[in-house]
Structure 1
Amino acid sequence: MDSMITAAARALAAGDPLGALKRIALRDDAPALALRGIAMAQLGDLVRAKALLKNAARAFGPKEAMARARCIVAEAEIALVSRDLGWPAKALASARATLEAHGDRMNAAHARNLEVRRLLLIGHLDEAERMLVELDPALLPPVSMAAYELVVAGIAVRRLQTKGARAALARAEEAARAANIPALMAEVESAALVLNTPAARLIRRGEEQPLLLEEVETLLASGELVVDACRNVVRDAGAVVSLATRPVLFALARALGEAWPADVPRNILLARAFRAKHADESHRARLRVEMGRLRAELRTLAEVKATKGGFALVPRRGHKVVVLAPPVEEQHAAVLAFLADGESWSSSALAIALGASPRTVQRALEQLAAAGKVQSLGLGRARRWMTPPVLGFPTILLLPGPLPNE
């Protein structure tokens, strides 16, 4: 490797892409193409960066498998940043294996870190944790160490382990300072805001109050019966009953939880669950059927009692009943929760992350765009959706991944 390539690589490692480009901007050999691609990625031109890295991978000869593998890892990182979740994950795993076979343990560790970050993004927390155990952070330079700790913090946040998240964020901040890259320090600072921003609302006996993530963790461990409108479940400290696929039952459970310890009149329940403005005998019959189903679902947690005026929720363990709701109630809130990170997403990437059909996500995006809540850039396959971050909008409790007891 010649002196100009070495100097450019050092500039990139220090977070100085312009300094790197000054040395190699006019060169088209394989190492220069690779470094130019990384520089363009640091400058935010991800399309150009991806093209340069593909050209570099092709330019390296058959005996330079390790160099090609490094290009694939860099391309995978660009795909992750640009939310191209359809990028072939197997290619990254193959590149990691090549790097490990050639003794490049540091870049192999970085590749594994990228795999874990992708799994975290789509909510595969168990798989991400298993892969994270196999990663030796001692091999990572400060830049990659900061990214590693951000992943550890992200998993802890998704699992509502705020103490572990704070510790990981502190280590990430220390690594970012050691790397001395302003953009990285800003990323860590932005990630830490999650712990200091209201993540939910507590509704108890008609009164509301905002809760930080740490307070949500305390609430879920308190033993109170929680009707969780962030995940559409009913839970206490020992059990969880999911009603995520039973929207009518959850609407009834939420109405009962918000009114506890009082009962809820039947006409209000009909309006909440069925949106019936003028109830007839068929609506009342259906309400009795749905209440029977709700009673069966919640039998281990609470009793649904019929009263003279309507229905009431009675916890079996004598606990209080509260409702946990997002700080902002929005249609298609899960889509907005992903877009609130400020990155541009394709509809196919959102479908992968949400576990929904592409057409369902496209319809949601079209409705949000009509309401002026999101905007699109580009056309066809290059179309991306984004929105400015919304202050106080839930970006954790609506994202995929199990919470305690799930």
Structure 2
Amino acid sequence: MDSLITAAAHALAAGDPLGALKRVALRDDAPALALRGIAMAQLGDLVRAKALLKSAARAFGRREAVARARCVVAEAEIALVSRDLSWPAKALDAARATLEAHGDRVNAAHARNVEVRRLLLIGRLDEAERMLSALDPSPLPPAARAAHELAVAGIAARRLQTKTAHAALSRAAEAARKADIPALTAEVENAALVLKTPAARLIARGEERTLLLGEVEALFASGALVVDACRNVVRDERQVVSLATRPILFALARALAEAWPADVSRSTLLARAFRAKHADESHRARLRVEIGRLRAELRALADVSATKNGFALVPRRAGEVVVLAPPVEERHAAVLAFLADGRSWSSSALAIALGASPRTVQRALEQLAEAGKVQSFGRGPARRWMTPPLTGFPTILLLPGPLPSD
């Protein structure tokens, strides 16, 4: 490797893409193409970066397995940043295996971090955690350690393990300081904002207030009966009952919890669960059936008792009943939660991340666009959707993945 390539690689490692380009901008050999691609990615020109990396991988040839693998890892990271979730994950796994087999521990660790970030984005926390546990970050250089700790913090935050997340972010900040890469420091600072921004709303006894992520964790450990509208579950400290596939039952449970310790009239329950403006005997009969089903679902956590006016929720163990609601409640809130990261998303990538059909996501995006809440650019397969980040609207409790005890 000649001195210009070495100097350009050092510049990229230090977060200086312009310095790297000054050395290799006019060269078309394979190492220069790869370095130019990474530099363009750091500068934000992802389309050009992807093309350069593909050219570099072809130019290296089959004998340069390690160099080709590094190009694949860089291309995978670009796909992740551009939210191309259809990019073949098996190619990244094969590249990581090649790097590990040839002793390139730093780039293999980087490949693992990219895999973890992708799994984290689509809510596969168990897989991400298993992959991270197989890596010891201590021998890694500061930049790679910071990336590792950011992944640890991301998993911990989604599991509502805020102490673990705080510790990981502190280690990430220290590693970023040692790496002396401004972009990495900014990424760590941005990740830390999740723990300092209201993550949900608490509704109890007719009052409402916002909660930080740490306060949500404390609420789940408090012994209260929580009707969790972020995940459509009912939980206390010992048990979780999911009503995610039973929207009518969850609507009834939430209405009863918001009124607790008072009861809720039958007419109010009919309006909340069935949206019935003028209830007849068939509606009342259906309400009795659904109340019976709700009693059966919640039998280990609470009873639903009949009163003179309607029904009331009676917890079995908990001394308090509260509702945990998202910070913003509106139609298609989950789509907005993903777009709030400021990245541009394709509708197909959103469908993968949300676990929904592409057509469902497309309809949601079109309705949000009509309301002026999202905007698109490009056409056909190249069409992307985005929105500026919404103040006070973090995504942790809306992104996929189980909360504790789910």
Q: Same fold (TM over 0.5)?
A: yes
Matches within 5 A, 1:181-220: 181-220=181-220
Moved more, 353-362 or 133-142: 133-142
Q: Distance in 1 between matches of 2:322 and 2:92?
A: 45
Name the counterpart of 1:24. 24
**The residue matched to 2:308 in structure 1 has which SS?**
coil
Cα contact 1:110–1:140 (8 A) shared by 2: no
Name the counterpart of 1:83. 83
Name the counterpart of 1:34. 34
Deviation at 1:136, TM superposition (A): 2.0
Cα deviation 1:181-214 (Å, max 9, x = unaligned): 1111111111101111110111011100111100
Name the counterpart of 2:235. 235
Name the counterpart of 1:248. 248
Cα contact 2:223–2:318 (8 A) shared by 1: no
One-letter identity of the residue aligned with 2:243 = L
Cα deviation 1:307-353 (Å, max 9, x = unaligned): 11001000011421000011211211111111111111111111111
Aligned length: 406
Name the counterpart of 1:348. 348
Q: Distance in 2 between matches of 1:139 and 1:28?
A: 34
Q: Distance in 1 between matches of 2:64 and 2:317?
A: 66
Cα deviation 1:272-299 (Å, max 9, x = unaligned): 1111111111111111111111111101
Name the counterpart of 1:296. 296
Name the counterpart of 2:261. 261
Deviation at 1:140, TM superposition (A): 2.4
Deviation at 1:100, TM superposition (A): 1.2
Cα contact 1:113–1:135 (8 A) shared by 2: no
Q: Distance in 2 between matches of 1:345 and 1:144?
A: 26
Q: Distance in 2 between matches of 1:298 and 1:134?
A: 39
One-letter identity of the residue aligned with 2:357 = S
Moved more, 156-165 or 343-352: 343-352
1:117 aligns with 2:117: yes
Deviation at 1:106, TM superposition (A): 1.3
One-letter identity of the residue aligned with 2:203 = I
Q: Distance in 1 between matches of 2:179 and 2:378?
A: 35
Q: Distance in 1 between matches of 2:385 and 2:216?
A: 30
Cα contact 2:234–2:242 (8 A) shared by 1: yes
Matches within 5 A, 1:55-204: 55-204=55-204
TM-score (norm 1): 0.99
Deviation at 1:138, TM superposition (A): 2.4
Cα contact 1:120–1:128 (8 A) shared by 2: yes
Name the counterpart of 2:9. 9
Cα deviation 1:223-277 (Å, max 9, x = unaligned): 1000001111000000000011111111110000000000000111111111111
Name the counterpart of 1:320. 320
One-letter identity of the residue aligned with 1:198 = P
Matches within 5 A, 1:38-53: 38-53=38-53
Name the counterpart of 1:391. 391
One-letter identity of the residue aligned with 1:81 = V
Change (3 A) 1:135 1:315: same
Deviation at 1:135, TM superposition (A): 1.3
Cα deviation 1:114-153 (Å, max 9, x = unaligned): 1111111111111111111111212422122111111000
One-letter identity of the residue aligned with 1:131 = M
**The residue matched to 1:201 in structure 2 has which SS?**
strand
Q: Distance in 2 between matches of 1:264 and 1:374?
A: 38
Cα contact 1:8–1:21 (8 A) shared by 2: yes
One-letter identity of the residue aligned with 2:348 = S
**The residue matched to 1:208 in structure 2 has which SS?**
strand
Q: Distance in 2 between matches of 1:191 and 1:23?
A: 33
Cα contact 2:113–2:148 (8 A) shared by 1: yes
Deviation at 1:394, TM superposition (A): 3.4
Cα deviation 1:147-186 (Å, max 9, x = unaligned): 1111000000000000000000011111111111111111
Cα contact 1:348–1:358 (8 A) shared by 2: yes
Cα contact 2:194–2:394 (8 A) shared by 1: no
One-letter identity of the residue aligned with 1:39 = A
One-letter identity of the residue aligned with 1:181 = I
One-letter identity of the residue aligned with 1:346 = S
**The residue matched to 2:342 in structure 1 has which SS?**
coil
Name the counterpart of 1:329. 329
Q: Distance in 1 between matches of 2:139 and 2:72?
A: 20
One-letter identity of the residue aligned with 2:232 = N
Name the counterpart of 2:360. 360
Structure 1 consecutive aligned stretches of length 4 or more whose deviation exceeds 3 Å: none
1:310 aligns with 2:310: yes
One-letter identity of the residue aligned with 2:61 = G
**The residue matched to 1:108 in structure 2 has which SS?**
helix
Q: Distance in 1 between matches of 2:74 and 2:296?
A: 52
Deviation at 1:31, TM superposition (A): 0.4
TM-score (norm 2): 0.99
Question: What residue ranges of structure 1 are gaps of 5+ in the alignment?
Answer: none
**Fraction of identical pairs, as percent:** 84
Deviation at 1:28, TM superposition (A): 0.5
Cα contact 1:376–1:386 (8 A) shared by 2: yes
